[in-house]
DNA sequence: TATTGTTATACTCTATAACTATA
DNA sequence: TATAGTTATAGAGTATAACAATA
């Protein structure tokens, strides 16, 4: 189930058309565009990172749907599994989420029996989040599926390139 | 105006805590998490690409606000400027947008006097989109601002690393 | 019959303000 | 006074179905 219209394969014969990349062509008459020139946008990291992320997330949504997990659910569950007792506030800070948007998500995971809320040992305001055995078992499978899917989507990259790409991306947002 | 809660600086002294990354710890008691371990998520390209993209887009929204352009407006305007006569359908295919979501955007740009709609030379159904002189002038400034911002956000990267990162990202979504 | 552009609309995601309980 | 969690709600973004005009 494609969520977007898929770009048609470009007619490579028309590559020679795109010669003038200047912004101010001062041309006002009607014109037919044979092949769309996106060379400027492709110099922008934000554009490329967003397109790459959406490309992966599109497949992620399909493959993880059987687990009832969307990307944010997945990252929250994974972080809880790897950090038993983590609080909502810590999840927000770590994953760049807003507290109000996490409330319903946590409640949903709890009602599905994937996590448990336990009182925080030292802070009466906070609540520690723990994955149940059911939640842990689900995430073992989900993380394996996610990792497989990621390797597929980055199949054009060598392992070294993949490692490089991860490191460079982290230099931007960390 | 921060749109998200900003992660607090991590106490590096606690890095030694995160030794066991296994999913099934079988621990059920209350526990305090000192530093959140996100090492698994950081192995996922989708997670890193999305975080990097959002990190850039956050600044993009601030810096491009004076031009009245959000990321999608910007990419549409830029593509129209560099491809005079491009059609809505071509924009959708190129930028991975859905036609209904582009209608209001195009109307807004037209009512602001940034673009003009002209009949397509060969196809009576299609409409060619052209940037007005006002739109072209705006985009010269906007693209310069965007490029500057991008260089700031990728300041930790060498020019060679930046080029590598762009190329690797395109190998994922193109 | 297929495609371009459009309308209407629903659903999801994201953001802000304000409240409570505790530190 | 400040923080953790919550509630309510508004706004933006994204999705599908269906239609008219043209190819």
Question: Is pLDDT above 90 for B6?
Answer: no
pLDDT digits (tens, 9 = 90+) for A8-21: 444 443 444 444 55
List alpha helices for chain A, DSSP H: 45-64, 71-82, 88-95, 99-111, 133-153, 159-173
Nearest to B150 by CA among B94, B42, B71: B71
* Residue B86: partners with Cβ closer than 8 Å, 6 or more residues away: A33, A36, B79, B80, B128, B129
Q: What is the model's pTM?
A: 0.90
Nearest to A142 by CA among A112, A104, A107: A112
Q: Name which of A33, A143, A158, A159 to mutate to probe chain B: the one with the most chain B Cβ atoms within 10 A of its Cβ.
A: A33
Nearest to B150 by CA among A174, A23, A22, A172: A172
The Cα–Cα gap between A2 and A62 comes to 10
A123 CB contact with strand C at below 7 Å: yes
Nucleotides of C under 7 A from a protein CB: 3-9, 12-18, 21-23
- Where do the domains of chain A lie? 44-173
Q: What was the pLDDT predicted at A31?
A: 87
Question: Is pLDDT above 50 for B2?
Answer: no
Residues of chain B found within 8 Å of residue A170, distances taken between Cβ atoms: 42, 48, 52
Quick one: pLDDT band at residue B31, thresholds 50, 70, 90?
A: confident
Distance B163 CA to D17 C1' (A): 43
- The mean pLDDT of B141-151, rounded to a whole number, is 98
The Cα–Cα gap between B56 and B128 comes to 31
Question: Is pLDDT above 90 for B30?
Answer: no
CA distance B67 to chain A (A): 17
Q: What was the pLDDT predicted at B13?
A: 35
User: B44-173: which CATH topology?
Assistant: Arc Repressor Mutant, subunit A (1.10.10)
The Cα–Cα gap between A149 and B106 comes to 36
Residues of chain B found within 8 Å of residue A57, distances taken between Cβ atoms: 46, 50
Conformation bin of residue A85: beta by default, left when phi > 0, alpha when psi is -120 to 50: left
């Amino acid at each position: 189930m494609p969520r977007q219209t898929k770009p048609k394969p470009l007619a490579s014969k028309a590559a020679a058309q795109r010669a003038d990349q200047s912004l101010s062509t001062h041309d006002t008459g009607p014109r037919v565009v044979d092949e769309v020139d996106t060379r400027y946008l492709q110099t922008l990291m934000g554009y490329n990172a967003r397109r790459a992320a959406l490309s992966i997330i599109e497949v992620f949504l399909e493959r993880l749907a059987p687990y009832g997990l969307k990307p944010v659910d997945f990252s929250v569950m994974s972080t809880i599994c790897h950090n038993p007792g983590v609080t909502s506030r810590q999840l927000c800070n770590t994953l760049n989420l807003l507290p109000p948007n996490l409330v319903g998500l946590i409640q949903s995971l709890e009602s599905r029996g994937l996590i448990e809320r336990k009182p925080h040992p030292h802070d009466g305001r906070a609540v520690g989040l723990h994955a149940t055995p059911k939640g842990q078992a689900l995430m073992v499978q989900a993380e394996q599926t996610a990792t497989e899917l990621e390797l597929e989507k980055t199949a054009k990259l060598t392992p070294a390139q993949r490692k490089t790409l991860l490191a460079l991306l982290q230099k931007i947002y960390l």
